[in-house]
Amino acid sequence: MRVSFYTLGCKVNLYETEVVMNNFKKNGYTIVSFDEISDVIVINTCTVTNMSDRKSRNIIRQAIKNNPNCIVVVMGCYSQIKQDEVKNIPGVDIIIGNTNKSKIVDLVEEYIKNKNTINLVEDIKKIDFEDMYLDSFETKIRAFIKIQDGCNNYCSYCIIPYARGDIRSKEKNKVLDEANTLVNNGYKEIVLAGIHTGHYGKDNYNYDISDLLNDLCNIDKLKRIRISSIEITELDDKFMKVLTNNKIVNHLHIPLQSGCNKTLREMNRKYDTNYFYNKINEIRNIKPDISITTDVIVGFPNETEEDFNETYNFIKKVSFSKLHVFPFSKRDGTKAAIMSNQISEEVKKDRVKKLLELSKELEIDYMNSFIDKKLEVLIEGYKDNIIEGHSTNYLLVRANGNKEDINSVVNIKINKIVYPNLYGNKI
């Protein structure tokens, strides 16, 4: 039987889809593109914003329209939060949320046998970590390991704690075993993924993210360790000490969300701008050329023009290397959804535009700082005598090269920018 997949959302979803895909392969199924006719389609959904919900619904309907006779499986955050909406889409056969993902093959085979619709969305609040394991990854170059799930922060705008449950962590030896297997299978870079990655181990207090990073750094053939995202409040002295290791890449994604202290308090974030700024300076004292990217929400309830300008100016002061900008999305069940002074879509759209323009300026400024400098680039692709890959600070770099360069780390001296890429020569 032929199986296709569609993944929306974060790196955790990408990892989980990869695990499900591998389980189907091991059971004799053939994996095909989402655009091809399939017998089974698995859609891993997202619910972080209203737009994510809309995209999830559209993809489900598209899959059913293009494959009217296939078995449609919907899993993930959207189905966890809004299972009734998913049930009301004609043609959905199997619904799970953020549990039982390792059992999807069994559920499909149960459906084939009985032809009864399956709805297995369970209470997410107090559950154990669902162990998943990968020995290979579709990209062939960079592999993800899901080390953590859930979030206990309950930021006032965020639905994810309700979709993912409380924090829970993968047992350390299982993480290290998975990492060793991936490295022995040729992967040079590993990305640690989680819903609240920096809270890894906080559910047992005996072994934390810094301990894990230390142990991963001792894997000889592992060249790079990347963290998908980490909160500023998790960068304690212990973490800063680990950050000095050259295997930890020159890139951290640290969500800011707002550069206005009033808005940060109303968002229920756990820091102010002074704390954030001082921590960034600590990081740059350790890794001066580090790329620091961030998330920003604009149009949060009560955000005045003055508040937005504070955010704008703080972002310039920090000098991030790239912004991911989101208009505030009202999520039912969160505190921010019932706040007064909701901001109009027109104002949100204008503020997004201004920050995206600033993001491009900051990105180009950061790129320019590497002209005539050497970058170590992990080569991921080759076409027409041009090799392409990401540097340790996650800049996309191109240069003349050979197909044999793929999956090796190459030194490239940068000589020009053609946004969004850097170009240089192998040295």
CATH code for the domain in which residue 50 is found: 3.40.50.12160
For each of the chain's 427 residues, which pLDDT tens digit applies? Answer: 999 999 999 999 999 999 999 999 999 999 999 999 999 999 999 999 999 999 999 999 999 999 999 999 999 999 999 999 999 999 999 999 999 999 999 999 999 999 999 999 999 988 999 999 999 987 778 999 999 999 999 999 999 999 999 999 999 999 999 999 999 999 999 999 999 999 999 998 789 999 999 999 999 999 999 999 999 999 999 999 999 999 999 999 999 999 999 999 999 999 999 999 999 999 999 999 999 999 999 999 999 999 999 999 999 999 999 999 999 999 999 999 999 999 999 999 999 999 999 999 999 999 999 999 999 999 999 999 999 999 999 999 999 999 999 999 999 999 999 999 999 999 9
Are 239 and 178 members of one domain?
yes
Number of domains in the chain: 3
Same-domain pairing of 173 and 114: no
Residue 144's pLDDT is 96
Say whether 237 sits in a helix, a strand or coil. Answer: helix
Residue length, the chain?
427
Q: Which two tokens stand for residue 99?
A: 């549990």
Q: Determine the pLDDT at residue 205.
A: 74
Eight-class DSSP state of 220: T
85 domain residue, yes or no: yes
Residues 51 and 148 in one domain: no
CA distance 152 to 171: 19
98 located within any domain: yes
pLDDT at position 96: 98
Residue after which a domain boundary falls, among 120, 135, 151: 120
Write down the pLDDT at residue 239.
Answer: 98
Q: Is residue 319 part of a domain?
A: no
What the block records as the tokens of 234 is 């998790």
The DSSP call for residue 248 is: B
Is the domain of 244 the same as that of 135? Answer: yes
pLDDT at site 359? 98
Query: Residue 136: which CATH number?
Result: 3.30.750.210
Dihedral angle sign, alpha carbons of residues 104, 110, 114, 118: negative
- Residue 204 has what pLDDT? 81
Say if residues 316 and 358 touch (Cβ distance below 8 Å).
yes
- Same structural domain, 187 and 241: yes
Report the alpha-carbon distance of residue 138 to residue 131 in Å, rounded. 19
* HSE of 44, CA atoms in CB hemisphere, 13 A: 24
Are 383 and 349 in contact, with CB atoms under 8 Å apart?
no
User: Phi and psi for 404 in degrees, rounded to 5?
Assistant: -65, -15
pLDDT computed for residue 414 by the predictor: 98
Q: What is the pLDDT of residue 139?
A: 74
165, 126 Cβ separation under 8 angstroms = yes
What per-residue confidence (pLDDT) applies to 140? Answer: 79
Residues 30 and 105 in one domain: yes
Within-domain flag for 390: yes
User: Are residues 132 and 166 part of one domain?
Assistant: yes
pLDDT of res. 391: 98
412 CB-contact burial (10 Å; exposed 0-12 / middle 13-18 / buried 19+): buried
**In terms of domains, do 23 and 41 share one?**
yes
Residues 159 and 99 in one domain: no
In this structure, the number of other CB atoms found within 10 A of the CB of residue 399 comes to 25
User: How much is the pTM?
Assistant: 0.96
* pLDDT at residue 107 in the model: 98
What is the token pair recorded at 320?
């991030």
Residue 257 lies in a domain: no
Inside any domain, residue 25: yes
Domain boundary among 104, 120, 136: 120
C-alpha to C-alpha distance for 40 and 57, rounded to whole angstroms? 17
CATH code, domain with 401: 2.40.50
Please give the helix or strand (H or E) that residue 265 lies within, else none: helix 261-267
Write down the pLDDT at residue 126.
84
Q: What pLDDT, on the 0 to 100 scale, is given for residue 122?
A: 96
| Residue ending a domain, choose from 105, 120, 135 | 120
**Contacts (Cβ under 8 Å, ≥6 apart) of 192:** 144, 145, 147, 200, 209, 212, 225, 226, 227, 228
Residue ranges making up the domain that contains 76: 2-120
Q: Is residue 149 domain-resident?
A: yes
Give the separation between CA 25 and CA 21, rounded to whole angstroms.
Answer: 6
Euclidean distance between CA atoms 82 and 53, whole angstroms: 9
Q: Quick one: 136 and 115 in the same domain?
A: no
Q: Are residues 138 and 186 in the same domain?
A: yes
* Closest of 221, 144, 224 to residue 183, by C-alpha: 221
Clarify whether residues 97 and 31 are in a common domain.
Answer: yes
Task: Judge whether 245 and 212 are in contact, CB under 8 Å.
Answer: no
